[in-house]
Amino acid sequence: MNLDDSLTIIKGVGSQVLEKFKVLGVLTIEDLLTNYPRKYEDFSQVVSIINLNPGKSTIQAKVESVISRYGRRGFHMTEAVVADSSGKMNILWFNQPYRAASIKKDQEYYISGDFGLHNQKMSMINPSMELVSAFPLNTARIIPIYSETSGLKSIQIRKIVKNSLSYLDLISESLPEWIIKNYNLIPLKQAIEELHFPKSNEDLEKARSRIAFEELFDLSLAAQLNKKDLLLQPVIKIEFNQKLATEFVSKLDFKLTDEQKISAWQILKDMDKDRPMNRLLEGDVGTGKTVVATMAAVNTLKFGYQVALMAPTEILAKQHYKTIKDLLKPLKMDDKVGLLVGSMKPKDKAEAKDLFLAGKLNFMIGTHSIIQDSVKLPKLAMVVIDEQHRFGVNQRQNLLQKTGHMPHLLSMSATPIPRSLQLALFGDLDVSIIKSKPYSDLDIDTKIISLNQRSATYEKLKDVLKKKEQIYVVCPLISESPVMSFRAVEKVYKDLSEGVYKDYSVGILHSRLSTEEKEKVMEKFVSNEINVLVCTTIIEVGVNVPNATTIVIESAERFGLAQIHQLRGRVGRNHKQGSCYLLLDSSNKPSPRLLALENTFDGFKLAELDLELRGPGIIYGTLQHGKNNLDLQIADLTDIKMILLAKKAAEEFIEKGENLLQYVQLNERINRLRAITTLN
Ligand code: ADP
Ligand code: MG
Give the pLDDT confidence of 59-71 residue by residue, as tens digits.
999 999 999 988 7
What ligand is nearest to the CA atom of residue 541? 2
User: Among 24-28, 56-60, 186-190, 620-624, which is the least confidently predicted range?
Assistant: 620-624
Task: Say how many Å lie between the CA of residue 319 and the centre of ligand 2.
Answer: 9
Look at residue 542 and tell me whether its pLDDT is greater than 90: no
In whole angstroms, give the CA distance from residue 396 to residue 29. 37
In whole angstroms, give the CA distance from residue 540 to residue 227. 31
Nearest CA to ligand 1 atom 23: 256
What does the pLDDT look like over 248-298, one tens digit per residue? 999 999 999 999 999 999 999 999 999 889 899 998 877 899 999 999 999
In whole angstroms, give the CA distance from residue 538 to residue 513. 11
Nearest CA to ligand 1 atom 17: 288
In whole angstroms, give the CA distance from residue 175 to residue 196. 20
What ligand is nearest to the CA atom of residue 258? 1
Closest approach atom of ligand 1 to CA 256: 23
Predicted TM-score (pTM) of this structure: 0.73
Task: Say how many Å lie between the CA of residue 639 and the centre of ligand 1.
Answer: 35
- Give the three-class secondary structure for 7: helix
Q: Which of the listed residues 258, 291, 441 should we mutate to test ligand 1's pocket, taking the one with most ligand atoms within 8 A of CB? A: 291
Look at residue 620 and tell me whether its pLDDT is greater than 70: no
Q: Angle at CA 643, nearest 5°, toward 639 and 645?
A: 125
In whole angstroms, give the CA distance from residue 301 to residue 325. 13
Give the pLDDT of residue 29. 95
Closest approach atom of ligand 1 to CA 386: 4
The pLDDT confidence band at residue 390, using thresholds 50, 70 and 90, is low
Task: Say how many Å lie between the CA of residue 368 and the centre of ligand 2.
Answer: 16
Position with higher pLDDT, 343 vs 345: 345
Sheet of 579-583: strands edge to edge? 445-449, 579-583, 548-553, 470-474, 532-535, 506-509
Pocket of ligand 1 (CB under 6 A): 254-257, 260, 283, 285-291, 414, 438-439
Beta bridge partners of 125: 92, 114
Task: Say how many Å lie between the CA of residue 282 and the centre of ligand 1.
Answer: 14
- Give the three-class secondary structure for 184: coil
Task: Say how many Å lie between the CA of residue 421 and the centre of ligand 1.
Answer: 27
Q: What are phi and psi of 596, to 5 degrees?
A: -60, -30
In whole angstroms, give the CA distance from residue 55 to residue 206. 27
Nearest CA to ligand 1 atom 5: 288
What is the chain's alpha carbon radius of gyration, rounded to the nearest angstrom?
31
Nearest CA to ligand 1 atom 4: 289
Look at residue 422 and tell me whether its pLDDT is greater than 80: no
Nearest CA to ligand 1 atom 13: 288
Nearest CA to ligand 1 atom 24: 438
